[in-house]
Amino acid sequence: MENRQLLEAAAKTARLPSTQWVGGKRAIGYLALESGREWNPLHDDGDAFRLLASVPLSLDLVDGVIIIGHEGKPIWTGACPNDNERLASARRAIVEAAAFLAMRT
């Protein structure tokens, strides 16, 4: 799934007000919220944390493995390659898990 699709599905899960994609296919891009604020939890720690809390999802990092849970059950698991990539890996895991929830409904 491309970043745009991930972000749109995650925004749906988070029940964000209507959004509009800004950026080209190869651009990083972001969603513009009704408030005019940019939203991209793939690149912004604050957006990722708010998404994590709004769904709600849980995040665990155990021995280099990221585990995202929902309602007490793991729904996403992936490796965290190294300390330098930990935040980026956690943000992507949160967005992918939220997108997964959107596809289930």
The 10s digit of each residue's pLDDT in 8-43 is 899 889 888 767 777 765 556 777 777 777 889 999
Instruction: Give yes or no for a contact between 74 and 67, defined as CB atoms under 8 angstroms apart.
Output: yes
d(CA 69, CA 59): 6
- Which helix (DSSP H) or strand (DSSP E) does residue 100 occupy? helix 86-104
pLDDT over threshold 60, residue 99? yes
Residue percentage of the chain with pLDDT more than 90: 44
pTM (predicted TM-score) = 0.86
Residue 28 is predicted with a pLDDT of 61
